[in-house]
Every structure is written in C-alpha cells, then in structure tokens.
Amino acid sequence: MPAIRHHVPDDLLMGYAAGVLPQAFDLVVAAHVSLNDDARVRLAGYEELGGAVLSDLGEAELAPDSLEQTLAKISRMQPTERSAPTGGVFPAPLRKMIGGDASAVKWKSIARGTKQAVLCADGDATARLLYIPAGQAMPEHSHRGTEMTLVLQGGYSSEDGHFQRGDLEVAGQQTHHTPIADDDGEDCICLVATDGRLRFDGLLPRIAQVFLRI
Amino acid sequence: MEKTEAHWVASMTSIAQHKDQKAFAEVFRHFAPRVKAFLIKSGADYALAEECMQDVMATLWHKAHLYDPSRASVATWIFTIARNRKIDLLRRYARPEPEDLPWGPEDAPDQVDAIALQQESTKLVDAVRKLPQKQRDLIERAYFGDLTHNEIAAETGLPLGTIKSRIRLALERLRHAMN
C-alpha cells in the first residue's frame, strides 16, 4: 500500500531550503508552507542548516570598493515594506505568479467541467492548477516521475486517503490513482507539480493527455 | 575573536532602528565575503558573484526591519536572501516564497524566544563544524546545489542523523517561538 503523505517529505523541503528544486516544485512547496505551520517550522530548520553552512564558509576576496558600491546601491533602492496578509483562496506565492486570486486564473476546459491552467514549465517540471467539479473523478493516471498535489479548495479522496485544503500528496513512480473530488458542494482546486510526463490509462484520457501536454 | 550571534542580532536591530552605517559596515565585513564565496561555489563567476553579493547586502539594509531574531539566525536570514537572489539571477525567475505570517503588535519578537534560537543556532553551527570533513563537504555541496539529497542521505548516514536531531531541537524552539 502506498504511504500516505499529507505533509511535504524532508528531501523536498531540504531541496527547497537549498534552492535546488525546479520552479514548479518551488511553487508548490512555498504554497504548502504558506498553509501549513508544521512545514514552516521544518523548513526553518533546513534553512538554519543553510545558515550554518554559510557561517562556516571561507571568505572570498571582495572588490576593493565593494562596500562603497553597496552603499551607493542602497541609496538607489526603495525601502521594502512588509507585505500585508490578504485573505483569499490562493496563498501569496501563487497569487504572485498568477497576478491575482482564483478569479484571475485563465482556465482551459478539459472535459465535463474539469479545467486546468498551466502556470510554469521548466524542462520536464510543470506546475498547473486543476479544477474538478464536486463529486467528479479525475482521469485515472499513473506517472513516471514525482507528482505533488496541494489542495487549495474543497477536497478529494484517492486510494491514498482523503486530502483537504493545505494537504499535500506526493506520489512516486509506482502510484496509480483515481482522485475523486468531495461531493459536499464545493468544487476542488489543486496545485499540481509534475516532473515527468503522466501516463493516463484508457483511450479517452490518452487523448486528453496529448491535449493537456502532461 | 569570533563575534557571538547576540552581537549580530544587535547589529541588525541597530541597522533597522537607527540606520546605523557603522553596524552595517561591520556586518558587511563579516558576511559579504562569505556570501560571495557561497555564490562562487554555486557556480557564479567572480563578477556576477560580486554584483549579486552587493544586491544581497543592499537588500539586508532595506529589509533589516523585517528580520525576526526569534525565527532565524542572522546568518540564516542572509543565506535565504542570497539563495533567492542567486535563483533570480542564475535561473532568471522570481523564486516563489511562502506567505508571511500574520503580523501585529502582539507578535513582536519575544526576547526569550530569540535567545533560545540563538543558542540552538550556535549549537547547529558547532555540530556542522564537528562533522568529519567528508560529511561536511556533502552538506555544503547540497546547499550549493550540485548534489541530490538522496545521495547525501546515502553517503552521510549517521552524521546526517546527528544533524537532523540538532535540527529537531532547533525546530522545537522555532515552534515555541511561533505559538
């Protein structure tokens, strides 16, 4: 039975702290951390490790006028204000990438009310938003790489358990699943990052795969 | 003599509250060469590393009032700015960052929490320093971005466990600071 992962695994969190993940995965981790305090403190730990590494580094030689140039740069920059938290469906990193909240998404219809919007694609890693009407199933699929799914609105159930807002499901190579959106009136919106091309099972979904480019 | 974490936290407060250029110059002398070394080891050439380092230190000046000593050590906060700037420049996209925690007057950093974090952070630096050279190199390379984390886990074994337990201690403090 596949392990249920409602939280971000350590290797992805450490990768995010180190800044070595593809952009699509950075986005999902940042959005998950925004909604989950447990992930936030674990991330803080891995960032402390980064700070410890920095503290212990040797010193590179600076340009002779390095400090003067930096002070000149400071005088040219605008002061940074603390960003005010704003309510909404989407956490800040996602709103920043879209340029607005859920209403600003440029959805493309897939089938039966299911919609998607590709946000970024960087090599094989893609981040997209999925919109699944309440009670409806996503096409059954398995995948070659890693897939991270973060629930932003509503919820869904799959063979791996039940997931709701803030929960993260990380599915590896062998996972076969058929997520079904909760049937409680609220449509489900998920942020999904994948790093390999998904394989859908069944003919119609395979056509959808070509259409979706996933 | 090596300055304590409390010293750097005080410097940051002075920069934030009094636009203290002397404190900034001291922070610069200590951290700028390390930030530049970090960027060079991450793959930037000398010119780009110098430019990027200056951006990082200028950002430090302008964001000093956002630094919260109960949530990160000064070195860690600088590390996150350097990492983000590195991604902006080397990969040419704005790095997605988590939403800030809600902030109000009642959330002002607690002195006790800040000191607890300084102690944990110092312990973590010591723990990393005491690792055998080979393991230390692996951790460093992970943070410069040329090694996957599965490889790290496979090659470091027990010492990484030691580090993780240190992180867990730091996390308890961090969790406490956030409640």
Domain ranges of chain A: 1-79+89-214
Residue A210 CB neighbours (<10 A): 9
- Those of residues 8-47 in B touching chain A at CB distance below 8 A are 21, 25, 28-29, 31-38, 40-41
What average pLDDT does range B34-50 have in this prediction? 91
What average pLDDT does range B1-25 have in this prediction? 93
Q: Which CATH number fits domain B110-179: 1.10.10, 3.30.70, 2.60.120, 3.30.190?
A: 1.10.10
- Give chain B's end-to-end CA distance (angstroms, integer): 36
Residue with tokens 């709103």: A95
Q: Domain A1-79+89-214 adopts which CATH fold?
A: Jelly Rolls (2.60.120)
pLDDT for the residue numbered B21: 96
Indicate if ipTM > 0.90: no
Q: Assign B156 a pLDDT band (cuts: 50, 70, 90).
A: very low
Report domain extents, chain B: 1-101, 110-179
Q: Has residue B40 got a pLDDT over 70?
A: yes
Residues sharing a CB contact under 8 Å with residue B7, sequence separation 6 or more, in sequence order = none
- Those of residues 87-106 in B touching chain A at CB distance below 8 A are 87, 91, 93-103
Domain boundaries B1-101, corresponding CATH code: 1.10.1740.10
B15, B143, B166: best mutation site toward chain A, by most A Cβ within 10 Å?
Answer: B143
Q: Assign B55 a pLDDT band (cuts: 50, 70, 90).
A: very high
Q: Has residue B148 got a pLDDT over 90?
A: no
- Give chain A's end-to-end CA distance (angstroms, integer): 25
Q: What is the mean pLDDT of chain A?
A: 81
A59 in B contact zone (CB under 8 Å): yes
φ, ψ for residue A65, nearest 5 deg = -105, 30
Q: Is A149 helix (H, G, I), strand (E, B) or coil?
A: strand
Q: What letter would DSSP give residue A36?
A: -
B123-147 per-position pLDDT tens digit: 778 777 777 776 677 677 778 765 4
CB burial readout B167-178, b (16+ within 10 A) else e: bebbbebbbebe
